[in-house]
Amino acid sequence: MHPFPIPVVGLTQTLGPGSQQEDETLDYLPMPHAMRTFQTPILPEPEDVREHGEARAWLGRLLDLARKWRPGMGALSLDMSGLSEADRKLIDQVLGEGEVSAQVAGESGTLAIQESVFAGVWRLRGRDLEDNAFADRVEVGDVPAAVGLAARAGQAAPKPRPTTPGVINAPALLAEVTERVTGHAAESHILNLSLLPFGPEDATWLDQCLGRGRVTLLSRGYGNCRITATGVARVWWVQYFNSQDALILNTLEIVDVPEVARAAAEDLEDSAERLAEVLEWIG
């Protein structure tokens, strides 16, 4: 498995005129949900795995964690740094690459996250500013721990700025976000920007007031879903694109982590079953 890039999409490039569908059919678009289908990884031959006892034992511990996880639990972690390079490559081959990628940027380095083909099983690699590894592990859970922690570490409320020419609807949206994050801290809320007049000036001003956070995610289910944490805790900019990379749904979500980036409990149950089948296959 290789490091992956997360495309950073300028909000002003995707929210302006021509980026939204103007016909009324948009009113009837359902909210997309993650479509997770199991894709069998290209497995090594059983005899090749038997030569790697440490990798086989590690996969057994991973299966134990997948069976142990329950809704409401935090992510369960399994370190890989003690394994040989050959064992790590074999494990990465078994895990494959799933639909969701993430990047958590910090002052001292970046944590790259890739969901495996087993939904809810996440491969994490961290590199510091000198390109030295500081994390090499797998986590089992609905969302990696670092994603939720970074998203909650933002500022408590947006920082209003003087309006500029062309800004029309963004101040009302900012007021709604502020009211929601300060008065309804435990509640989730979605603002559908696709159904509103929302020009590039509005997008630029609102983006500046909210700021940028440290988390970016890409979910490849129905087309692409690009999820960017704002600088305000629990506020995310979520953009859905079709297979032609045209923006079809543009929202602000006030939630711990958007649902499209999470693995459901049923996903993890299925992943445990699939992992068991893989271990049975490789003996």
- pLDDT given at position 52: 78
For 58-61, which contacts have Cβ atoms below 8 Å and span 24 or more sequence positions? Answer: 58/83, 58/87, 58/91, 59/91, 59/94, 59/275, 59/278, 59/279, 60/279
- Asked which of 36-45, 48-57, 58-67, 182-191 is least confident by mean pLDDT, the reply is 36-45
- Domain-by-domain residue ranges, the chain? 11-35+150-261, 46-142+264-282
Q: 43 vs 235, which has greater pLDDT? A: 235
Ramachandran class of 80: left when φ > 0, alpha when ψ lies in -120 to 50, beta otherwise: alpha
Indicate the SS3 state at residue 16. coil
> How far apart (Å, rounded) are the C-alpha atoms in residues 270 and 264?
10
Indicate the SS3 state at residue 274. helix
Q: 33 vs 153, which has greater pLDDT? A: 153
pLDDT tens column, 122-136? 999 999 999 999 999
CATH number of the structural domain 11-35+150-261? 3.30.1370.140
Q: What mean pLDDT value characterizes the chain?
A: 85
- pLDDT given at position 13: 43
Q: Is the pLDDT of residue 8 over 80?
A: no
Amino acid at 178: T
End-to-end CA distance of the chain: 23
> How far apart (Å, rounded) are the C-alpha atoms in residues 93 and 226?
26
Q: Is the pLDDT of residue 282 over 60?
A: yes
- pTM score, whole prediction: 0.81
| Cβ atoms < 10 Å from Cβ of 192 | 15
Same fold, 11-35+150-261 and 46-142+264-282: yes
> How far apart (Å, rounded) are the C-alpha atoms in residues 98 and 95?
9
* Closest-CA residue to 92 (of 46, 144, 136): 136
Indicate the SS3 state at residue 185. coil
For 46-142+264-282, CATH number out of 3.40.50.300, 3.30.1370.140, 2.60.40.10, 3.30.750.24 equals: 3.30.1370.140
pLDDT tens column, 190-237? 999 999 999 999 999 999 999 999 999 999 866 789 999 999 999 999
User: Do residues 227 and 216 make contact, with C-beta atoms less than 8 angstroms apart?
Assistant: yes
